[in-house]
Amino acid sequence: MQALFGQLLIGLINGAFYAMLSLGLAVIFGLLNIINFTHGAQYMMGAFCAWFLLNKAVIGDTGIGYWPALIIAPIAVGVFGMLIERTMLARLYKLDHLYGLLLTFGLALVIQGVFRNEFGSSGLPYQIPAILQGGVNLGFMFLPIYRGWVIVASLIVCLATWYVIERTKLGSYLRAATENPALVQAFGINVPRMITLTFGFGVGLAALAGVMAAPIYQVSPLMGADLIIVVFAVVVIGGMGSILGAILTGFGLGVVEGLTKYFYPEASNTVIFVIMVIVLMIKPAGLFGRER
Amino acid sequence: MATTAPIAAAPRRSRSNVLAGTAVMTALLAIAPFVGIYPVFTMKALCFALFACAFNLLLGFGGLLSFGHAMFLGTAGYVCAHAAKVWGFPPELAILTGTATAAICGLVAGSLAIRRQGIYFAMITLALAQMMFFFALQAKFTGGEDGIQAVPRGHLFGIFDLKNRTIMYTVVLVIFLSGFAFIYRIIHSPFGEVLKAIRENETRAISLGYKTDRYKLVAFVLSATLAGVAGATKAIVLQLASLTDVNWPMSGEVVLMTLVGGLGTIFGPVVGAFVILVMQFKLAPIGEWVLVIQGAIFVACVLLFRRGIIGEIANKLRIRL
């Protein structure tokens, strides 16, 4: 039983990262109509940013710790993303959307390659912050506090994103621009700037996931490379039409993956892809998707 | 779906240009081993060239971006290597078995992927290829991280000893040229014309009464099959089938080759494959930086150089290549 709950917990944590990453992808896709292949690399950059702040940006005798990193890393990586959007992606909007995919794929190769040359392929450890160390015994299982925190925090971030997009005025501009950018521009809203900020936000979300992942997984240059392909499958399964859908699919698939690890470990790598195949056969638009 | 319109402009159709180009290409490839170019390198490059041509058939002429073409190259390689080494198949039968497996994979993957369009199509093919990668990693017969090594080359049709370098080279050249000619034929057939129509405007093609899904599926299977020929031949040439060939960077590499050479051109993928392989070979001493440079070329191609090498030349000369 302990093992089952343990795997369920790991599943939930993976699900939290799937949810945050696919949410970022969906927000970016909604407005820019491109799939951001650098998303995995930006998740990795978030983790590295946290590592840098702790180990290199030393003031006095301690580096900048986890809590400031949770804010600094997403902003730094988000700004990096906005630079990419302004200097490169913006030139491609008039072309086929596939070029955006190809460009970001190339960028991902460059970013991951540079980090790999600097840091090698092995992981760097990142300490769990002092307050979140240790664990609690829940009776049926032992819960490391940090892992509980990751699940709760990512849920809050996801729901806050949902709230902003679906329930606020800012979000209504965003949704309108997703439907018809030309019309929204005609109403006097600066759509190009909105696109840049949205891209930065999506990228920042990936970096935030990276910071939260740093103490759980090791910080390594390729940590996002395989993950992003799984997240693509998650996006195909959920469909990118709905924000809540992306969150639900992310967490749900993480749990399914965890259960598979317990009951039939050999299939744990492929179970999400198998689910994708089944969903494509039954409901090609995805569980929460609309045909567009 | 939005229209795909990056293809090199071709004001004048001329078959003679393609014939002349093919003659030059064949002559160059025929003399290559005699002017000191390492034959195994050229053979490997020819396999990749065929792979890229197969990919180009799908993207350049069908407008379908598959980000998982490594699955066909790699699977065919594994099956061919296994057939030749464990089952003791002669090379022609081993290549055929590998190719047939790739065709079946193509049928399955294609019928799933064409259910979605554009960007989803790319993501689905990528995910399916990743599934195949994990299968190859875990299955017993693929040898995991080691791959299948020391695949025997054997005797083609029981007569030609493929251990002889000249014979092997000739066989690979013949396979490549046949594949190349076959693709040219497909592109210029009525089927190919419909495919191009679907690329330009799928909705209109549907309204004209074409069952576009069927055309897309056939194109996908053809492309997968030809990629399979390339993969199986490569396994015999290099006597090796490994995880590299099923992994996602390989899927990216074939996109890069096609893009560098010229998307939607006849000769582009061939030139692209040679350029990328020569680059990898020359830059091998700097190790990991090769990936960074490849990524940078990707970015440069997409931003500045979308027609590719052959596309630019064709555009300058105002001909179709």
B76 inside domain: yes
pLDDT per position as a tens digit, B170-201: 999 999 999 999 999 999 999 999 999 999 99
Give the pLDDT confidence score for residue B143 in this predicted structure.
Answer: 81
Name the pLDDT band for B14 (thresholds 50, 70, 90). low
Which residues of chain A make contact with B128, given a CB cutoff of 8 A? Answer: 273, 277
Instruction: Write out the residue range of the structural domain in which residue B159 sits.
Output: 39-246
| B129-169 per-position pLDDT tens digit | 999 999 998 888 888 788 888 888 877 787 887 788 888 89
For the segment B44-69, the average pLDDT, to the nearest whole number, is 94
What interface predicted TM-score (ipTM) does this complex get? Answer: 0.87
Q: How many domains does chain B divide into?
A: 1
Q: How far apart are CA B115 and CA B53, in angstroms?
A: 24
Helix axes B118-138, A98-119, angle to 10 degrees: 40
Q: Which residues of B278-306 are buried (b: 16+ CB within 10 A; e: fewer)?
A: eeeeeeeeeeeebbbbbbbbbbebbbeeb
Question: Domain for residue B308, yes or no?
Answer: no
Contact A109/B292, CB-based, under 8 Å? yes
The answer to whether residue B297 is domain-embedded is no
pLDDT at B13: 55
CA-wise closest residue to B48 among B240, B258, B247? B258
Residue B113 in 3-state DSSP? helix
pLDDT at A291: 56
Local confidence pLDDT in tens for the 292 residues of chain A: 778 888 889 899 999 999 999 999 988 888 888 889 999 999 999 999 999 888 887 776 677 888 988 999 999 999 999 999 999 998 888 888 888 889 999 999 999 999 998 888 888 888 888 888 888 887 777 888 999 999 999 999 999 999 998 899 988 998 898 888 889 999 998 989 999 999 999 999 999 999 999 999 889 998 998 899 999 989 889 887 788 888 999 999 999 999 998 999 888 888 999 999 998 888 888 888 765 4
Report how far residue A178's alpha carbon sits from residue A197's, in angstroms, rounded to the nearest whole number: 14
Q: Which tokens sit at A117?
A: 């040359």
Interface mutation vs chain B, best among A270, A271, A275, A290, most B CBs within 10 Å:
A270
Determine, yes or no, domain membership for B13: no
* Residues B291, A105: C-beta atoms closer than 8 Å: no
Across the interface, do A229 and B115 touch by the CB < 8 Å criterion?
no
Assigned domain for B135 exists: yes
B chain contacts of residue A105, beta-carbon cutoff 8 Å:
252, 255, 298
Contact criterion met (CB < 8 Å) for B4 and A98: yes
Q: Name the E strands within B41-172.
A: 155-156, 160-161
Give CATH for domain A2-282.
Answer: 1.10.3470
Could you give the CA distance from residue A95 to residue B3 in angstroms, rounded to a whole number?
9
Chain B residue with the nearest C-alpha to that of A238: B120
Report CA dihedral (B159, B161, B166, B172) to the nearest 10 degrees. Answer: 80
Average pLDDT value for chain B: 88
Q: Residues with Cβ < 8 Å from B275, sequence gap 6 or more?
A: B257, B260, B261, B309
pLDDT bin (cut points 50, 70, 90) of residue B12 is very low
